Amino acid sequence: MAFRVDRRTLLAGGALLINGAAPNHEAEARATLDRAAAMPPGARLTLLRQVDPQPLSRTVRLDLAAARRGAELEAAIGAATDMAVRYALRLRLESGFDVTPDHAFAWCMDRAQSLTAQADSLLRQLELSRGGVAERLRRLARDPRYLYSDDDAGRDRAVADMNRWLTDARARLPRQFGMIPAAVDHVQARRMTQEEEAAGKAGYRTLPSFDGALPGGYFVDLRDIARRPSWSLPSVVHHELLPGHMMQLPIQAHAAPHPLRLRAAPGFVEGWAIYAEQLSAETGAFADAPEAELGCVQWLLFRLGRAIIDIGLNLHGWTDSEALSFLKDLQGEPMIFAPFEKDIARAHTEPASFAGHALNCLGIERLRDAAPGDKRRFHDRLLADGALPLILFSSLR
């Protein structure tokens, strides 16, 4: 798939456009951002407020606006003595927009209920109608028809299946994007070395260069292959490869956003990859594969479940046992890399992080639905500059 740029998208997106900001203003602003990065939030905000954004290029204006927002929120978080106030501020930072915890909780719960109903319908198509959704998902996860053999042949077959899904995902990209980097033609799912598998190494990725000169891949964790039913892998492809991380991250690397912008948009990258799973479903990835669609639904329930227990534990007084029961009732089996107890512990130590991931996905969806015209143009504009707080998207020109 050749690299293509729609000229109108390029002019609208602007990340690749050489624009007319005076070089000295650009250099001074970037130097100020660099100095600010080493400062505590309050001093950082004071310094950044002294920078005039008007003569700057669009990309540097975005860096500056995001850095200011991040510093303001970090300063407020550091000064907050009330736990609920501090969590609400963290949620604004992690989500990238000004959502309240109560609204976020209701939003995630509503979507989880909708997905649970979808899972029930798909399970019935597979002739699994008895018991709750979580119970039936557990049964399906252990169904020998969908399990790979626990040997080299089984692991090789799992990776080959993932690459077949990747080929289909790559073919759909022109329906989803107007601007497609050459990187997408140089990524694939890969098997870890036997030493890595034996050591229990978690799945990891190597990123391709924007121009595709340097290939990339996702190395999937298949040590405990009995917990990788075939219907669970297609969404891994869409999340980790295309149109997920291997679409967004090479574009971001090429745009080179300032580190302070990335710090001010901590949930964007993961939120995009979650959105990519949903986007794949919406553009026909699972039209003839109800099992794979069910896998997509379960992965989305997993992301929403994390968000809900995050808010429940940190704001609503949930106990760990209440959070554990909720997750078991929502998604059935824990994901291979995320035991329920591990996620509960992480929700305590990284408050609002899980919620931020899910809310970035839901926020992208809401922005997409409100965007006029060709949705490919929306996706191009969203990705062109790299990660950003979603609240700043409407100001992009």
Q: What's the distance, CA 222 to chain centroid?
A: 22
Residue 397 is predicted with a pLDDT of 62
Sequence-ordered list of residues with C-beta below 8 angstroms from that of 121, at least 6 positions apart, any chain: none
| Residue 307: both structure tokens together | 């968000």
Beta strands 187-191 and 216-220, pairing class: parallel
pLDDT, tens only, 236-292: 999 999 999 999 999 999 999 999 999 999 999 999 999 999 999 999 999 999 999
pLDDT at 3 over 50: no
Q: Could you identify the residue written with the tokens 């965007």?
A: 371
Residue 366 is predicted with a pLDDT of 98
pLDDT, tens only, 5-22: 343 333 334 433 334 455
Mean pLDDT for 81-95 is 98
Residue 395 is predicted with a pLDDT of 83
Mean pLDDT of the chain: 94
pTM attached to this predicted model: 0.94
Residues in the chain, overall count? 397
pLDDT at 4 over 70: no
What is the rounded distance in angstroms from the CA atom of residue 123 to the CA atom of residue 317? 33
**CA atoms within 13 A of residue 272's CA, in its CB half-sphere:** 26
What is the rounded distance in angstroms from the CA atom of residue 245 to the CA atom of residue 247? 5
Q: Is 205 in a helix, a strand, or coil? A: strand
Q: Which residues, listed in sequence order, are joined to residue 218 by a DSSP beta bridge?
A: 189, 205
| Residue 245: both structure tokens together | 């991380």
| Residue 11: both structure tokens together | 């002019």
Instruction: Report yes or no: 291 and 230 within 8 Å, Cβ to Cβ.
Output: yes
Residue 359 is predicted with a pLDDT of 98
pLDDT, tens only, 349-377: 999 999 999 999 999 999 999 999 999 99
Crossing angle for the helix pair 353-370 and 101-125, to the nearest 10 degrees: 80
pLDDT, tens only, 310-349: 999 999 999 999 999 999 999 999 998 999 999 999 999 9
192 secondary structure, DSSP code: P
pLDDT at 167 over 50: yes
What is the rounded distance in angstroms from the CA atom of residue 95 to the CA atom of residue 390? 8
pLDDT, tens only, 168-190: 999 999 999 999 999 999 999 99
Mean pLDDT for 140-164 is 98
Number of H helices, E strands in the chain: 18, 3
Q: For the ranges 11-25, 38-52, 103-117, 276-290, which has the lowest average pLDDT?
A: 11-25
End-to-end CA distance of the chain: 29
Structure-model confidence comparison of residues 10 and 225, the more confident one: 225
Mean pLDDT for 49-59 is 95
Residue 2 is predicted with a pLDDT of 38
| Residue 314: both structure tokens together | 């940190």
What is the rounded distance in angstroms from the CA atom of residue 103 to the CA atom of residue 366? 14
Residue 10 is predicted with a pLDDT of 34
The strands making up 216-220's β-sheet, listed across from edge to edge, are 187-191, 216-220, 204-206
What is the rounded distance in angstroms from the CA atom of residue 271 to the CA atom of residue 365? 10
Instruction: Report yes or no: 89 and 264 within 8 Å, Cβ to Cβ.
Output: no
Query: Where are the domains positioned within the chain?
Result: 11-94, 97-395
> Of 46, 21, 16, 11, which Cα lies nearest the Cα of 385?
16
